[in-house]
Structure formats: C-alpha cells, structure tokens
Structure 1
Amino acid sequence: MKKILYGIDFGTTNSALSIYDEERNEILTTILIPSLLYFPEEYATEGSTNHVVGETAISAYLEDGMKGRFIKSIKQILSRSSFTETRIQNKRYNASQLVALILMELKARADEFIGQSCTKAVIGRPVFFDDDNTSKDTLAQTRLNKAAELAGFDQVRFQFEPIGAAFTYEKTLTKKEHVLVADLGGGTTDFTYVVLDPDKTGNIDRKEDLVASGGIYIGGDSFDSAFMWEKCTPYFGKYTQYEATPGKVLTVPKSLFANICTWDKINFFNGIKIKKEIEDYYYFSGNDRKFKNLITLIDNNLGYSVFQAIEKTKIALSDQDNSSFTYNNMGIEINEDVDIVEYDRIIDKDLLKIKNYLSHFLSSHNIQESAIDSLFLTGGTSQVRAIQHLFKSKFPHIKVNSGDNFTSVAKGLAYSNYLFEESI
C-alpha cells in the first residue's frame, strides 16, 4: 500500500483534491470539480445514484430542462444555523450530508487514480466561515468535520486555506520572504501574513512562521449577488406596483428580490403561503409582465442559469472594458450592455469592505507595508480587475504574484502533512 495523503480544498465555487505521495514527497496529480449537486426530478428509488456531482451536474441539469433540484455554493450554508435540513426526493439532507456528497466524489476519483482507498486528509477551511462570529464558525467547523467523516475520512486535520496557498508559493522561492497571501474565493476573502523560506519546506513545526491570519465573509458570490440585485431584479418585477385595496397602490416588497440574489434563499419561495402571496401580487398588479418573470424563475428553477450568465459577464470584464449581459429563456429576456466602470460601481460596496478589512488586518497585527516582500493572490475572484487594482494601488512597490487560482490551496494543504506529526 502506498503512503498517500489528500489535500482537499472544498470551495464555494470549485473544489480540488491534491494526491500527495508521502514517501516520494511529491504531488501525483490534482483533481478539480465544480462544487455543484444536481438531484433529478425523476429518479429510481432503488439501485441507482440519485444525484450528480461536479461538471456533470451542469449538463444533467440542462438536459433535464432545468427541473429537479440544483444546488450551488453549498459551502455558504455551513455556518447558517437557520439551515437545518432540506427535503430532496423524499429524503432529508442536512448541511454535512450535502457537503459529504462533494467530498465523496473527490475521494472516489482520487481513490481510482491511486488504486486504493485513502482515508487521510488535510482539509482546508477559511479563516472565518462567517466573519468574526465564534458560534457560527464553530457550527461550520463541526459540520465540515462531520462531512469528512461521512465521506470516509478517519484521519483528518484542518488548515487555513490561505496558509495552504502560502506553502504552494513557497515551493517557487529561492530565498526567505515575508509574504501577504490573499485567498479570494466565491464565499470568503482570507489573508495570511507568513514568513516563507524554501529551506524550511517540509519542516514539522511552522507555527512561528505563521504571523497572522484573518478573513471576511465576502467573495465572488457577493459580487454576483450585487449584480443580480442591480441589473437583473428590475426584469423580475422589483418595481412592480399592485392595488393593495381599491385606490391604494403599493410596490411589491423588496424582500422578494433579495431572496433571488443567492441560491439558498430561493428556497424561501417553497412554502405554500409565500407562493400564494406571489400569485396575489401578480393578480393585483394586473398580470405585470416583469413580475411574471419572477414566477417563471421560481417555478422552473432557473436561478443557476441566470447566475451562469452573470459569471460569464464578470469573467469577460476581467480583461476587457465592455461586455454584455444576456439572458433569454422561457420568455425572460434580458439584454444589457455593461462596461467596466458600471461593473466596478455595482461591486463597490463589497470591494470597499475588502479594502477596509485589509487595512484593519494590517494595523491590528502591526504589519508595516514596508516589511512585506511579496504578495501572493489566489482564488477565482482574484482575477476581477477591481481586486487587482486594489492590491496594486495599495502596494505599488510590491510585485503581485499568483499561482493556479483553482488548485494552489489544495496543493498547499497536501504539503501540510506535518500536521499529523505528534510533536505538533
């Protein structure tokens, strides 16, 4: 039996697993999948898998006419005490069980690659699952630990995700550096200030090299939600007026549209009472065409396909000044030109929170900008142009480095095998 360890980065948007050969001290390969689940509307009650994971979840969802239950950004529910369970295909799933399905898929693919079952893993976690909230953080950690157990891992250690990214960057260095690592993912933005030294790679005790860590619960999904609110909700009837009583005209509640800006809140519409309220708003609005789009969105589970179009626009604007946001499906027609100036305005509030937190992080840990030798950015959101500008303008004297935005963390987690040493 080979002596193998898995480094697992369970992410909001994508998840990665690096296979580390502990005897050869090298990573054999890294597996990357979207953090997506799809439960078909029609399923066999016995003898077959009742869900699809990763990239095949997207194709299955589209092939089935966007029916069934499609779930994204699962990581974000780990810290939410309001989420206890959801019923899918007459079965109840709690947060740990949903996360375990992603981890099990990664493990199965990795086990097939190495030809044996590996139950030892270093799993990443953000510095804070939900800002600086201890109770929510504890809840999320407990749920993630349970998910790892359900997925078949009985030897588990946890490592902060930006530290994992730091250890990957360390492999590229030729001399000692004081490095500020920023891991900008779909759900969180995490920072670590660390002393990296290629001569220490593989050392058992690295605690003294980890100077400071911190994070904020804002990431690429926050940008997408802001875009959804600003550019899309008007097409779903945000400004629809209805006749509450004869002669009294009101605007439908804004809360309805806040609940279509993230996938998990769309479940808010599952109840009979809220569905009846929406039908009433539609009727008393005189069958407003745009409000009908909201009903179509909810009834046909179109949320993910809308957010796919939003992400496509975000990616396009990472390297060009102008793009378009287009969504045409089941009578919903949205065609908007978007330039980088407007996009930056849309995400400005979230960007400012990241900027302010970064300043707080540096000052609270007495980190002088002049003491930082290099910056290392990782995570898909690091490609957003406004994020790049934030770091380059704040640290004009420091080179901004980056690795593979989707696998750097997983590789560094695999390099964290020292966490299993008894002396730690």
Structure 2
Amino acid sequence: MPNAVSGLDFGTTNSTIGLVRQGVPTLLPVEGEDVTIPSALFFSLEDGRTYFGRSAVAEYVDGSEGRFMRALKSVLGSSLMSETTQVGRMRLTFQDLIGRFLGHLREKYSEAMGEAPDAVVLGRPVHFVDGDETADRTAQDQLEEAARQQGFRHIEFQFEPVAAALYFERQVTSEQLALVVDIGGGTSDFSVVRLSPEAARATNRLSDILASTGVHVGGTDFDRMLSIARVMPLLGMGSETADRKRTMPNWYFNEMATWHRINTLYTPKIKRDIFELKREAAEPEKLARFEHVLEHRSGHRLAGAVEAAKIALSDRDEAVIRLKEGGFALHAPAPRAAFEAAVGELVERIAGAIDEALAQAAVAAEAIETVILTGGGAQTPIVRAAATARFPSAQIVQSDAFGSVGLGLTIDAARRFA
C-alpha cells in the first residue's frame, strides 16, 4: 500500500493538493500560506529559475525576461501536446511543462508533511475534449503519464463535479438528489448524484452517480469572447485594408485572445505578417497596437486585464479593460450587457449540458433538491442564472469556489487507498 496519499486538483486557472488528516479533508499550503496556486509557470531567462503560481505571474507582469505559461490543462488531448516549445535554450513538450507543475505541488506536499505522496487521485473534467472519446482518453493518459514522471506511483481519477459532491455530502442529514455545477477555467461539468449520510461512508459510489455530462466551456472561454468583443477590434480585428477589398485575417486575433495559444504568436514570421498587414491597413494605428503586444510579449498581461474586467462584472454593471505600459495604453469599456451578449452562445451550451444531465439521469428538474455551485465561473451572474433557473424550489449551495473539488479528491483518495 502507498505510504502517503493525496488528492490533486490540477485546474486550468488554479490548483490544490491535500490529504485527509484525522478524518478531516485538508488542503495544504502551496504558495506561502495560500492553499490555492494559479496554474502558471514562468521560466526566467535572467536568473534561470522556474517560478510557479503568483510568483510566476509577478515575474511576468514586472517585465522580467522569460517565458510565461498558463492554462496548460487546456492543451491536454489537443495537437499541441505532440509539439515542443522553446523555453530558453531548451525545447520542452507540453507534457514536460504540465509535469513540472505537478511536481511542484508534490514538493509542497513533501515540505508540509515530511514525505512525498506515492498515491494520488487526480481530478478530471467529464470531457477533456468534446465529442471525441479517443482524444478524451488520450488527454487522461497524458495527465497520468505527467504525474507518473514526477514520482506518483498509484494514480486514480475522479470526475471533478463528483469530487465536489463528496465534499458537500459530509454535511447532509438525509438522502437527497443533487446537481453539481462545476464551472472551471477550461470546462463546465454537471453531475446528478444521490447523496446521503449512509452513502458518504461507502467507498464505491458508482450506483449513486446518475449522470455526468460536460462541455469544453470555462472561464478562459468567457475571457476569450470578451476580448474578441471589446479588445481585439482595437488591435485591428475586423478592420479593412486601405483599398477596402479585404479585412484583416481573424485568426491572429483569435489566437491572441486565447490564453493557451498566445505564446504561439511570438515568432519572427508572425511579426513579419503583422508588419505587412499594418502597411496595407486602412487603420494602421490599430495594427501598431497588435505589433506592440507581440514585440513586448504583452499578450498574457492583456488577457489578465480582460480577466480582471470579467471578474469585476460579477458585482458591477460596467468595468473597464485597462493595460498601460511603455508606449502602449489601452482603455476599453466593458458593460455587463455587452459581455453577456458576447458569451450568450457559451451560456446556451452550459444550459444544454444541464438538460442532458437531467435526461441521462431520467429525472425531472423538480426532483433536484440541491444545486451545488463550484468553480470560479459559477460566480458569473449570467452563468449562475442559467444553472439555477430550472430549479426554483431547490436549495442553492455556493460551495468553496476553488477548494471544494480538491477537498473532495482528498476524501476519495483516503477511501481508495485505505
């Protein structure tokens, strides 16, 4: 049997690692006293170090020379996993990069507990890749191999929404039917689960999971759509050539608006392309902004400004996307109404997946007694409304947005490896 066990939630935007101590699920500190860490890495070309989490973000925002990586979970199962990327003098695979991050979490466990975990239950979305079972299985295999390369010898997986249900179940006093809504950074997952005090003590819960569905829609997709709607037009998207015969190719702007694709634009060829487009443009000043973002590798700083505005819109009717640095200033108003219009299709996909979960479980909406909301995206008003509208009589529970999945995974790990 393994000497030490853990539950590890490798998220698109945030990650955790924990264990059960004296019967209590606990998340371990992974960055200072924080039990959550942004899923980000920065490879410094100045001191040769690799920075993780908030430290990685700080190095990048401060303008240190190096390579910034975020939202790596979104790459699993995609064609990017077979490619390598330049990091200083090294060429690393994306599996190597994911492994380094998992290894960092394992080290943090070791620092806190005095021993590194042999066994882990990793969280996974219901679908890494929509509509492609082969790619979905490949994504899980890639994550498993990345963990194995870092020293985990016993590896199991649990659906992230099921893990959130396991954590909430500790407080239920009678049997009930629950819908778990987990809106993460890269995926949205939904599970219909039968909960009860008696079932909470069982190790095998397959019979209590009535349905699990998911879509590849998450917080970074909401960032992307807001960026395309409010920022990319200021960088040239949709603008015309001076002869009015063509518009600028959309794909440059779509890539710049997508967290895990931004680094692919930092090549000499792309810089030449944008330079030539600027010469042909009816509004060259817009392409000059795009050129600046490329030249100064400001894409993730820009994406961070978009994300900050999105988060602000959870409490306000209007926000502003701001980025100011040497020779560059961007100020883009972002009304909530414009944001909700931009993400309408994403919300419809989330609503459709909820309907699919109910259909799979063969239960009516009225039978759901509790809706458990988790994940940062569940705090977005339009998403929360879509997730709860079908259940006017249900108890709505806002679980720990960034910790409930990790805590549930620790409970699952303690049962599996006991």
Normalising to structure 1: TM-score of the pair? 0.91
Structure 1 residues 183, 286: closer, same or farther in 2, change over 3 A? Answer: closer
- The residue that corresponds to 1:209 in the other structure is 208
Q: Is the 8 A contact 1:376 1:401 kept in 2?
A: yes
- The residue that corresponds to 1:393 in the other structure is 389
- The residue that corresponds to 2:5 in the other structure is 5
Query: C-alpha separation between the residues in 2 aligned to 1:2 and 1:249?
Result: 66
Counterpart amino acid of residue 35 in structure 1: S
1:298 aligns with 2:291: no
Structure 1 residues 361, 27: closer, same or farther in 2, change over 3 A? Answer: closer
Query: C-alpha separation between the residues in 2 aligned to 1:61 and 1:277?
Result: 25
Structure 1 residues 287, 319: closer, same or farther in 2, change over 3 A? Answer: closer
Q: Is the 8 A contact 2:235 2:287 kept in 1?
A: yes
Counterpart amino acid of residue 12 in structure 1: T
Q: C-alpha displacement at 1:286, in angstroms? A: 7.3
- The residue that corresponds to 2:32 in the other structure is none
* Residue ranges of structure 2 left out of the alignment (5+ in a row): 29-34
- The residue that corresponds to 1:69 in the other structure is 67
Counterpart amino acid of residue 260 in structure 1: M
Equivalent positions of 1:167-246 (< 5 A) are: 167-243=166-242
Deviations for 1:123-168, whole angstroms, at most 9, x for unmatched residues? 1111100113112111211110011112211111111111100000
Normalising to structure 2: TM-score of the pair? 0.93
Q: Is the 8 A contact 1:203 1:418 kept in 2?
A: no
Of the three residues 343, 346, 357, the one matched with 1:361 is: 357
* Partner-residue secondary structure (3-state), 2:198: helix
Structure 1 residues 277, 391: closer, same or farther in 2, change over 3 A? Answer: closer
Counterpart amino acid of residue 11 in structure 2: G
Q: Is the 8 A contact 2:365 2:390 kept in 1?
A: no
- The residue that corresponds to 1:107 in the other structure is 106
* Residue ranges of structure 1 left out of the alignment (5+ in a row): 45-49
- The residue that corresponds to 1:34 in the other structure is 38
Query: C-alpha separation between the residues in 1 aligned to 2:94 and 2:336?
Result: 37
Q: Is the 8 A contact 1:123 1:413 kept in 2?
A: yes
Equivalent positions of 1:302-381 (< 5 A) are: 302-381=298-377
Structure 1 residues 399, 369: closer, same or farther in 2, change over 3 A? Answer: same
* Partner-residue secondary structure (3-state), 1:194: strand
Structure 1 residues 397, 90: closer, same or farther in 2, change over 3 A? Answer: same
Query: C-alpha separation between the residues in 2 aligned to 1:109 and 1:412?
Result: 19
- The residue that corresponds to 2:272 in the other structure is 276
Deviations for 1:391-414, whole angstroms, at most 9, x for unmatched residues? 232211112102111010011011
* Partner-residue secondary structure (3-state), 1:242: coil
Deviations for 1:72-120, whole angstroms, at most 9, x for unmatched residues? 1000001102442212112122122111111111111111111122221
Q: Is the 8 A contact 2:2 2:154 kept in 1?
A: no
Aligned CA-pair RMSD: 2.1
Structure 1 residues 56, 418: closer, same or farther in 2, change over 3 A? Answer: closer
Q: Is the 8 A contact 1:16 1:410 kept in 2?
A: yes
Q: Is the 8 A contact 1:69 1:301 kept in 2?
A: no
Query: C-alpha separation between the residues in 2 aligned to 1:269 and 1:340?
Result: 30
Q: C-alpha displacement at 1:173, in angstroms? A: 1.0
Structure 1 residues 113, 418: closer, same or farther in 2, change over 3 A? Answer: closer
Structure 1 residues 2, 258: closer, same or farther in 2, change over 3 A? Answer: closer
Deviations for 1:264-322, whole angstroms, at most 9, x for unmatched residues? 32344344433322221122337811101111111211111112111211111112223
* Partner-residue secondary structure (3-state), 2:389: helix
Q: How many residues align?
A: 411
- The residue that corresponds to 1:159 in the other structure is 158
Deviations for 1:50-88, whole angstroms, at most 9, x for unmatched residues? 31111110112223x153211110000011024422121
Deviations for 1:203-222, whole angstroms, at most 9, x for unmatched residues? 22212111111110001111
Q: Is the 8 A contact 2:354 2:387 kept in 1?
A: no
Query: C-alpha separation between the residues in 1 aligned to 2:378 and 2:396?
Result: 11
Of the three residues 399, 403, 409, the one matched with 2:405 is: 409
Structure 1 residues 20, 323: closer, same or farther in 2, change over 3 A? Answer: same
Counterpart amino acid of residue 42 in structure 2: Y
Query: C-alpha separation between the residues in 2 aligned to 1:73 and 1:334?
Result: 24
Structure 1 residues 55, 11: closer, same or farther in 2, change over 3 A? Answer: same
- Percent identical across equivalent pairs? 29
- The residue that corresponds to 2:252 in the other structure is 256
Q: Which deviates more, 143-152 or 248-257?
A: 248-257
Deviations for 1:304-343, whole angstroms, at most 9, x for unmatched residues? 1112111211111112223222222233322233332222
Structure 1 residues 380, 75: closer, same or farther in 2, change over 3 A? Answer: same
Query: C-alpha separation between the residues in 2 aligned to 1:239 and 1:320?
Result: 28
Q: Is the 8 A contact 1:95 1:143 kept in 2?
A: no
Q: Is the 8 A contact 1:53 1:101 kept in 2?
A: no
- The residue that corresponds to 1:47 in the other structure is none
